[in-house]
Amino acid sequence: MIPAPARAKVVVIGAGQAGLSVAYYLRRFELVADEDFVVLDRAPGAGGAWQHRWSSLRLGTAHRVNDLPGMAELGLSFDTADRDLPAKEVVADYYGRFEQHYDLRVHRPVDVRSVGNEGADLVVRYEDLSPKPVEELKARGLFGRRRKSFEAPANQRAPQHEIVTSFLVNATGTWGSPFVPFYPGMGEFAGRHLHTSDYIEAEDFRDQHIVVVGGGTSAIGFMLELENVAAGLTWVSRRPVDWIDRQELDLEGASAAVAMQDEAARSGRALPSIVSGTGVPKSRRIAAGIERGLLVARPMFDRIEADRVVWDGDESGMARADAIIWATGFRPELRHLAPLRLREKAGGVTVGQGAAWSDPRVFLAGYGPQASTIGANRAGRMIARQIMAML
């Protein structure tokens, strides 16, 4: 890892679409010295959360992936990228080339543990993960995400480093903060609980009985992939799936979802799920899946037993399960910001135009209305401009 300076005007945490977009604009606005801005990222390589996604995911399978600002200068575009290659490889490759071309000097792999106050400044404390082999990172839950229960005891942790800064851009996304709702019997289940973020490939489930939970595009993608692999497949959704009679999301549908996110962020509420605002478009592949009875979601089960899920009060109310895949979404990864006390009683952080309203030194890129690749691009320009105006 390139040593990070002990002081920088701006620290950006996260080198996904949002963090890279902010870094690009800061560079363009002529912050060029090492001490001007520092980008820190936990992942072993370029690609943000995309590098951790499952191998069968292709660009365009879910939604459109927008190019980073300035990517055209490199002759790269996701629109013309190879659709036969895993999205994780294409995005990692393009982001890596982007970082090099614009000399964004991302410091990785480093895990930011906390951000606190130091007088009028902020102090960012991070652990350098570079000497640790991937297997150890995986065992500790640090490969791609951090789970509290996997954390090493304090006396076994590597020493922390610090950067003092005037401005913080938090662009940590959601991948590291998977959400799984609680259902009675979860602890008694003898099979495997997996979240979207644990899914690797359909073959892992050959000849097994699988229950997929969730009403969004990830759940639907898993159902389609597992159809000819699993011995039994059950789809359940906590809410009726909001199908829309279009092949793709149109601008109106997407902007309604963005408006919902924006309203929640501006009022400090917990963010609603994106799919609750957009609905799920019926692509040809999905429409065919509905037609043949695969993509018909049952209502949520009531409880889980050792080898099944159960609907109470329904005679035939059970489905066998060797594994339950929870495609139930993510939450913003903000634990390391806890010392700044940004979270409101309503459950979220009040954010408008990417700025945390309770602390003018702090920006949240990729949060709420910016939580898409197009939103993350807009965040970059908007946040970099505000910082430049204050520097």
Contact residues for ligand FAD, defined by CB under 6 A = 13-19, 40-43, 48-49, 53, 62-65, 111-112, 171-173, 175-176, 218, 333, 336, 366, 371-374, 376
Nearest to 11 by CA among 43, 44, 46, 35: 35
Q: Between residues 17 and 208, which has the closer beta carbon with respect to ligand FAD?
A: 17
Residue 47 CB, shortest distance to ligand FAD, in Å, is 7
Residue 293 CB, shortest distance to ligand FAD, in Å, is 25
Residue 247 CB, shortest distance to ligand FAD, in Å, is 15
Query: Cα separations (Å) of 193 from 158, 186, 215?
Result: 31, 9, 17
Residue 336 CB, shortest distance to ligand FAD, in Å, is 5
Cα 64 to the center of its chain, rounded Å? 16
Report the chain's C-alpha Rg in angstroms.
21
Q: Between residues 64 and 193, which has the closer beta carbon with respect to ligand FAD?
A: 64
Residue 52 CB, shortest distance to ligand FAD, in Å, is 8
Which residues are bridge partners to 126 per DSSP?
112, 161
CA–CA–CA angle 217, 226, 229 (5° rounding): 170
* Residue 199 tokens, joined: 């899914």
d(C-alpha 242, C-alpha 182), whole Å: 23
Q: Provide the 8-state DSSP code for 280.
A: E
Residue 114 CB, shortest distance to ligand FAD, in Å, is 9
Give the alpha-carbon dihedral of 242, 245, 247, 248, to 10 degrees.
-50
d(C-alpha 112, C-alpha 338), whole Å: 12
Q: Between residues 172 and 208, which has the closer beta carbon with respect to ligand FAD?
A: 172
Peptide bond between residue 69 and the one before it cis (omega within 30 degrees of 0): no
Q: Classify residue 190 as exposed, middle or buried by CB count within 10 Å of its CB (0-12, 13-18, 19+).
A: exposed
Q: Between residues 15 and 258, which has the closer beta carbon with respect to ligand FAD?
A: 15
Range list of H helices, the chain: 17-28, 87-101, 134-139, 217-226, 251-266, 274-278, 284-291, 373-390
Residue 8 CB, shortest distance to ligand FAD, in Å, is 15
Q: Are the C-beta atoms of residues 371 and 263 closer than 8 Å to each other?
A: no
Q: Between residues 248 and 291, which has the closer beta carbon with respect to ligand FAD?
A: 248
Place of tokens 């943000």: 48
Q: Between residues 176 and 268, which has the closer beta carbon with respect to ligand FAD?
A: 176
Q: Between residues 189 and 235, which has the closer beta carbon with respect to ligand FAD?
A: 235
Q: Between residues 76 and 171, which has the closer beta carbon with respect to ligand FAD?
A: 171
Q: Are the C-beta atoms of residues 31 and 59 closer than 8 Å to each other?
A: no
Residue 229 CB, shortest distance to ligand FAD, in Å, is 19
Q: 162 in helix, strand or coil?
A: strand
Q: Are the C-beta atoms of residues 351 and 364 closer than 8 Å to each other?
A: yes
Residue 28 CB, shortest distance to ligand FAD, in Å, is 18
Q: Between residues 50 and 301, which has the closer beta carbon with respect to ligand FAD?
A: 50
